[in-house]
Amino acid sequence: MHRWLIRTGFVLLGGILVFAAAAAQSLSGLFVPQRTLDQQIDLIAPGVTVFLPERTQTPVPAAIFFHGCGGRRPMHFDHAEALQDAGFAVLVVDSFEPRGIGRLEAMTQVCTATRLTGQERAADVFAAIEIAWQTGGVDPDRLVLFGWSHGGWSLLDALSYVSDGIAPPALVAQSLSLDGVANVVPIYPYCGFPARAAGRMGSGLPPVDMILAGRDMVAPYGDCVRLAEQAVANRADFNFSVWNGLTHAFDDTDAPAIDFRMQYDAAAAERLRLRMIEILQATQD
C-alpha cells in the first residue's frame, strides 16, 4: 500500500509538471524560438505539398490544410485529391517533418501539449498564407484554411492573435495579414486549455465555419461551442455545426479500430469532402 501511494504520488506529480510546462509555454511563450516571417516560411516550405487542378488557365481558389497532432495522414491527401478533381488547388502543410518531429514525438509530446502548442504553431498559418500567395495557379484572394484537431486549435489561435493585434510567440513582433482568406474551417478542433482563442475573437476577422463531432471524447465540443458563442457576442462572423453520432477523427481512414474514441465513418468523410468543396465554391460567388 505504501509503495502504491508513492508510485501514485510520482504519477500525479508528473502530471502536474507536464500541465505546468504546457501552461508556461502557452501563456508566456517560454522556450519558443522566435523567427521572422521569412524565416518561418523557409522553415515550413519544405513540408508543403501542392495540388493543382489540371488544364486550368486562370488562378483558382485554394485550400490550405493543417493536420492534427498525429501529423499528416492519408485522409489529408484523399481530401486534397477530391478538391483537386473539383477544380481547386490545395496546399497540405506538414508542420512536423521540418521540425524533426516524428510520429512517436507527435503522439507523446504534441498531443499532450508539451511541445508545439497551437500558439506556437499559429506562426505556420501566416507562413502558409504567404506561400499560397507565391504559388502559381493559386488565386491569392480566395483562400480557405482547413484545420483538423490541433490544426484547428492553431487556426483559432492565429485568428485570436490578429484580433489582439499581436504576433504569435514564434514570430518576432510584426504586422500580420489575413488578406485573401475567405473562410476558416476548424474541424473537430481543440478549444480548451491551453488554447487562447476563447473570448478573443471579434469583428474584422474572416468568417469561421466550425465543424464539431457530437461524440468527441478527445476534444469535447462544449469548449468550442462556448468559444463560438463568445465570438458571436463580440460580433465575429462565426458559425458552427455539430455532426451528431461522430467521434474525433471521423474522417481518418487510419483510425485504430480498437480505439472507440476515434472511429472512421466513410459516409461522414464523404460529407466532409462535399462540404469543403461547397465552401470553396462559395468563394467564387
How far are the Cα atoms of 30, 40, 121, 151, 259 from residue 117, in angstroms, in the given order?
A: 12, 16, 6, 10, 24
CA distance 147 to 156: 9
Bridge pairing between strands 238-243 and 181-187: unpaired
pTM of the model: 0.90
Q: Nearest to residue 133, comparing CAs of 45, 66, 43, 20?
A: 45
pLDDT value at 27 more than 50? no
In one letter, which amino acid is 126?
Answer: F
pLDDT number for residue 23: 46
Residue entry with cell 506561400 = 131
> Which amino acid type is present at position 115?
R
Tens digit of each residue's pLDDT (9 = 90 or more) over 235-250: 999 999 999 999 999 9
Protein fold of 31-282 = Rossmann fold (3.40.50)
136 Cβ neighbours under 8 A, 6+ residues apart: none
Q: Identify whether 33 is preceded by a cis peptide bond (ω within 30 of 0).
A: no
Q: Which residue has the cell 515550413?
A: 44
| C-alpha–C-alpha distance, residues 205 and 165, integer Å | 11
In 105-173, which ranges are E strands?
A: 138-148
CA distances from 10 to 5, 14, 79 (A): 9, 6, 43
What are the sequence ranges of the domains in the chain? 31-282
- Which tens digit of pLDDT belongs to each residue from 62-115? 999 999 999 999 999 999 999 999 999 999 999 999 999 999 999 999 999 999
pLDDT higher at 245 or 2: 245
d(CA 176, CA 195): 20
As a whole-number percent, the residues of the chain with pLDDT over 90 amount to: 82
Q: Which one-letter amino acid corresponds to residue 95? A: S
Among 10-14, 96-100, 157-161, 166-170, the range scoring the smallest mean pLDDT is 10-14
Instruction: Specify whether the CB–CB gap between 213 and 182 falls below 8 A.
Output: no
Give the model's confidence band at 6: pLDDT under 50 very low, under 70 low, under 90 confident, else very high.
Answer: very low
Mean pLDDT (whole number) for 189-212: 96
Task: Reply yes or no on whether the pLDDT at 231 is more than 70.
Answer: yes
Sign of CA dihedral 130, 135, 140, 142: negative
Question: For residue 34, what is the DSSP state?
Answer: P
